[in-house]
């Protein structure tokens, strides 16, 4: 295993490292041991095909299919991923990882670079576990799933930097490549992203206080909800303002343009909010947008070490993920608008 490049991301909780490694991710040496190994597969298909990571793991004594039969956490319905139980201690000592996070990437027609956000939604969900501080992953969805390695890796690296800057509680993220051509491509991309990040840091340090932008006005509440419940949420906001007309509430995302900057703008709005209200429903837990908003607030809560999140249960969700269900909530099921309006006045 060869270290090709490395980047330190600065954050309030201390530096985090991103590494680019050349070598077999299923044969990590002890110095590159990780808690979590990320693999990708087609939904429900863990066939150990030669030339794939799942095939290589199988030859080393790990059946991903068997791990799938005894998942420790299953988010396939929401995010298309699942977490394995710890692998055998002997295998841990030889292969130098503890668990597998399997990301089931979908159909060949999907653009792999569009799946990168979901990969990190999966990683982020389990990063709050104290047993997970380091992750290794290949440039996923570029083998049998036919993704273009350069586009995928650029998106992976941008997303890793973003979440680490926002205090994702990981100490190390290791990207692994094995193919020579892919390694050259990844190394060039890594150098460009590292240089851009270091320039951004330098520009921030050099910015004179007098030239800095004024602080944003901020919000009392950021309301996160599935788009299908817009009409109910409008009633909720109306009830909040009936009690306190001066409340500053962010709930309309329509002014935020789609694209790569979307998550940064949403994160900025959440960082400016005193509290974040989640309107829970089955549609909420299956929405990529809602997961991003939830995880941004979860990281803010983690960083500040104080409650930020409030939840309102609007419609029953039998598959509500534990990370969302751990909070106490106001029960307004099933879509009871009177209870929902009362909850708004109770919160405000």
Q: What proportion of the chain, given as a percentage, has pLDDT over 70? A: 89
Predicted structure pTM score = 0.89
Contact 21, 174 (CB under 8 A): yes
Q: Is residue 28 domain-resident?
A: yes
C-alpha–C-alpha distance, residues 258 and 245, integer Å: 30
Residue 180 belongs to a domain with what CATH number? 3.40.220.10
Residue 176 shares a structural domain with residue 240: no
**Structural domain contains residue 137:** yes
15: containing domain: 2-203
Environment class of 138 (CB within 10 Å of its CB; exposed 0-12, middle 13-18, buried 19+) = buried
pLDDT 10s digits, 108-158: 445 655 678 888 999 999 998 888 999 999 986 554 444 466 788 888 999
177 vs 53: CA distance, rounded Å: 11
Domain end residue (candidates: 203, 233, 263): 203
> Computed from CA positions of residues 277, 280, 283, 285, in that sequence, does the dihedral angle turn out positive or negative?
positive
- Shared domain for 257 and 149, answered yes or no, is no
Strands in 178-228 per DSSP E: 219-224
Count the neighbouring beta carbons within 10 Å of the beta carbon of residue 309: 17
pLDDT, tens digit, 9 for 90 and up, residues 162-189: 999 999 999 999 999 987 767 888 999 9
Same domain flag for 187 and 233: no
Alpha-carbon gap, residue 250 to 222, rounded angstroms: 5
In terms of residues, how long is the chain?
348
Residue 334: is the preceding peptide bond cis (ω within 30°)? yes
341, 196: one domain: no
Question: Among the three residues 203, 236, 263, which one is the final residue of a domain in this structure?
Answer: 203
Please classify residue 305 by burial: count the beta carbons closer than 10 Å to its beta carbon, then call 0-12 exposed, 13-18 middle and 19+ buried. Answer: exposed
Asked whether residue 238 falls in the same domain as residue 189, the answer is: no
Q: Are residues 81 and 41 in the same domain?
A: yes
Percent of the chain with pLDDT over 90: 73
Indicate the number of domains in the chain: 2
The answer to whether residues 50 and 182 belong to one domain is yes
- CATH classification at residue 268: 3.40.50.10140
User: Domain boundary at 141, 172, 203, which?
Assistant: 203
Nearest 10 degrees: Cα torsion 301, 304, 306, 309 = -20
Q: Quick: pLDDT tens for 44-65.
A: 999 999 989 999 999 999 999 9
Are residues 246 and 195 both part of a single domain?
no
């Amino acid at each position: 295993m060869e270290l090709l490049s490395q980047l330190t991301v600065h954050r309030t909780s201390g530096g985090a490292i991103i590494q680019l490694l050349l070598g077999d991710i299923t044969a990590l040496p002890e110095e590159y041991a990780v808690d979590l190994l990320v693999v990708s597969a087609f939904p429900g298909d863990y066939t150990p095909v030669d030339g794939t990571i799942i095939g290589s793991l199988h030859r080393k004594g790990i059946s991903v299919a068997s791990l799938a039969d005894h998942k420790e956490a299953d988010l396939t319905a929401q995010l298309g991923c699942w977490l394995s139980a710890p692998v055998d201690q002997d295998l841990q000592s030889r292969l130098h990882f503890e668990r597998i996070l399997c990301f089931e990437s979908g159909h060949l027609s999907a653009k792999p670079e569009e799946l990168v956000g979901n990969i990190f939604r999966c990683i982020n969900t389990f990063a709050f576990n104290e047993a997970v501080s380091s992750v290794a992953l290949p440039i996923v969805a570029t083998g049998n799933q036919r993704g273009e390695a350069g586009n995928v890796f650029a998106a992976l690296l941008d997303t890793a930097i973003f979440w680490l800057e926002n205090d994702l509680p990981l100490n190390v993220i290791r990207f692994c490549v094995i193919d020579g051509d892919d390694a050259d491509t990844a190394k060039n991309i890594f150098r460009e992203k590292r240089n851009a990040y270091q320039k951004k840091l330098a520009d921030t340090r050099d910015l004179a206080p007098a030239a800095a932008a004024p602080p944003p006005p901020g919000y009392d509440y950021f309301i996160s909800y599935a788009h299908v419940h817009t009409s109910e949420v409008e009633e909720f906001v109306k009830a909040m303002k009936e009690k306190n007309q001066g409340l500053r509430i962010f709930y309309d995302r329509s002014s935020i343009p789609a694209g790569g900057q979307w998550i940064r703008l949403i994160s900025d709005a959440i960082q400016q909010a005193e509290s974040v209200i989640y309107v829970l429903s089955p549609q909420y837990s299956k929405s990529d947008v809602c997961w991003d908003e939830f995880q941004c607030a979860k990281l803010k809560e983690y960083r500040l070490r104080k409650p930020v999140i409030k939840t309102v249960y609007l419609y029953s969700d039998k598959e509500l993920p534990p990370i969302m269900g751990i909070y106490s909530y106001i029960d307004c099921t099933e879509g009871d608008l009177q209870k929902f309006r009362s909850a708004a006045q109770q919160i405000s």
